[in-house]
Amino acid sequence: MTRECGRVYNFSAGPAVLPEEVLKIAADEMMNYQNSGMSVMEMSHRSKTYDNIIKTAEKDLRELMNIPDNYKVLFLQGGAHLQFSMVPINLLKADGTGVADYIVTGQWAKKAYSEAQKYGKINKIATSEDKTFSYIPDCSNLPISEDAEYIYICENNTIYGTKFHTLPNTKGKTLVADMSSCFLSEPVDVTKYGLIYAGVQKNVGPAGVQIVIIREDLIREDLPAWCPTMLKYKTHADNDSLYNTPPAYGIYVCGLVFKWLKKMGGLEKMKEINVKKAKILYDFLDNSKLFKGTVEKESRSLMNVPFVTGDEALDKKFIEEAAKEGLVQLKGHRTVGGMRASIYNAMPIEGVEALVEFMKKFEKENA
Ligand SMILES: *Cc1c(COP(=O)(O)O)cnc(C)c1O
């Protein structure tokens, strides 16, 4: 299979595939961004041109997600991992007696839960670890702590391929969500959350940018004295994400992706496409004699689809032969094994169809 520019179908979980249209615009604008005579990479983040880039990116994101005015949008660095720390540092009481409840549905939530321990009393109120995180637990009536300052979830579990299709009943408490791998894949009611964050390298842009959407009343000033200036949401909120040099080029590419999403028809339309794409793969898995999905049906992610043959040697052979056909990065996360196809917004439907065709052929040859 040969595609334009020798490109492959890239099923990486992240950094991941980007829309080819966006890559082409970035390439066209590389040497001379809109008559500035320079690349966005070479431009002062204090320039008028750059100010327009970051402001437009924020405006387009607000439009796509319908973000209310009482929420700040921050473009930060440090990956989702830094949010594992920033969330408890900024939301918990400064004296270390703060309380938060975590729902642990995978490695990322588990890491966030363990990091938060440093800053307060952190409870694990539900987990799906008993069945290798292959489902989302019932969160309709959890033992929410009376004094919890927030309830934490990882909304789409990139490694295990599960997604919260119903948000937990937080009993009025603030919901915080790591949306790294489902950000902008479907419409979201922002008002249901106090804080949303996402590393953009999964579904939006190049690694290095972290988007935080935070309700203004959660931006506190009374933080612990030891808290570094750079780790305060307030620092970045007060300076429109330009307190220091932001990940300027990454934000520019995110902005191009926001424009692309608008052109595609917005998040309703993206969801429709994502449902259709995922269905092709899940329908095949449900009927295959060789391949099996590893997740309970009701918990399935639209973005990350893990599957196995049940035979490690055969999994390895599949991954190798698929790569020769231009279907790459299908290896499951090192903690799970097997295969995982990440089918983010930018994965064309043709890529999923090509994968399923290849799986059919492989199944026949290895029956
Ligand atoms: C990838 C991922 C992370 C980790 O992201 P880094 O940018 O490497 O820190 C955290 N949470 C989720 C849901 C992820 O998919």
20 in a structural domain:
no
Answer yes or no: do 178 and 255 share one domain: yes
Q: Which domain does 185 fall in, by range?
A: 25-263
Tokens of 325: 């056909």
Is 275 a residue whose pLDDT tops 60? yes
Answer yes or no: do 165 and 101 share one domain: yes
* Ligand 1 proximity of 181 Cβ (cutoff 6 Å): yes
pLDDT band with cut points at 50, 70 and 90 for residue 198:
very high
Residue in 113, 181, 334 to alter for ligand 1 test, most ligand atoms within 8 A of Cβ: 181
Answer yes or no: do 80 and 222 share one domain: yes
Tokens of 366: 């290895």
9 in a structural domain:
no
Catalytic entry in 108, 163, 173, 277: 108
Residue 93 CB partners (closer than 8 Å, separation 6+): 120, 149
Answer yes or no: do 244 and 281 share one domain: no
- Which H or E run includes 89? helix 79-91
133 in a structural domain:
yes
Domain final position from 233, 263, 293: 263
Q: Which of 101, 62, 81, 64 is nearest to 260 (CA)?
A: 64
Query: Into how many domains does the chain fold?
Result: 2
* Ligand 1 proximity of 178 Cβ (cutoff 6 Å): yes
Answer yes or no: do 192 and 291 share one domain: no
| Edge-to-edge order in the sheet of strand 304-308 | 292-293, 304-308, 339-342
φ, ψ for residue 199, nearest 5 deg: -75, 130
Domain final position from 263, 287, 307: 263
**CATH (domain of 360):** 3.90.1150.10
Residue in 83, 180, 301 to alter for ligand 1 test, most ligand atoms within 8 A of Cβ: 180
| Edge-to-edge order in the sheet of strand 195-199 | 71-76, 210-215, 195-199, 175-178, 148-154, 99-104, 121-127
Answer yes or no: do 271 and 345 share one domain: yes
Condensed to tens digits (0 to 9), the pLDDT of residues 209-248 reads 999 999 999 999 999 999 999 999 999 999 999 999 999 9
Answer yes or no: do 53 and 130 share one domain: yes
Note if 178 is an active site residue.
yes
Domain final position from 263, 283, 304: 263
194 in a structural domain:
yes
4 in a structural domain:
no
Answer yes or no: do 191 and 308 share one domain: no
pLDDT of residue 3: 85
2 in a structural domain:
no
Query: Is residue 211 classed as helix, strand or coil in its secondary structure?
Result: strand
pLDDT band with cut points at 50, 70 and 90 for residue 367:
confident
Answer yes or no: do 209 and 311 share one domain: no
Is 1 a residue whose pLDDT tops 60? no
332: left (phi over 0), alpha (psi -120 to 50) or beta: beta
Atom 10 of ligand 1, residue of closest alpha carbon: 80
Condensed to tens digits (0 to 9), the pLDDT of residues 110-153 reads 999 999 999 999 999 999 999 999 999 999 999 999 999 999 99
**CATH (domain of 101):** 3.40.640.10
Tell me the whole-structure pTM to 2 decimals: 0.98
* Ligand 1 proximity of 180 Cβ (cutoff 6 Å): yes
Answer yes or no: do 203 and 176 share one domain: yes
* Ligand 1 proximity of 105 Cβ (cutoff 6 Å): no
Catalytic entry in 72, 163, 173, 202: 202
CA 189 to chain centre: 16
Residue in 111, 115, 155, 158 to alter for ligand 1 test, most ligand atoms within 8 A of Cβ: 158
Catalytic entry in 178, 260, 277, 315: 178
**221 CA distance to ligand 1 middle (Å):** 27
Tokens of 309: 């043959």
Distance CA 225, CA 113 (A): 23
pLDDT band with cut points at 50, 70 and 90 for residue 299:
very high
The chain-wide mean pLDDT, for the chain, equals 97
Note if 130 is an active site residue.
no
203 in a structural domain:
yes
Note if 259 is an active site residue.
no
Query: Is residue 254 classed as helix, strand or coil in its secondary structure?
Result: helix
Answer yes or no: do 109 and 205 share one domain: yes
Is 305 a residue whose pLDDT tops 80? yes
Answer yes or no: do 253 and 289 share one domain: no
17 in a structural domain:
no
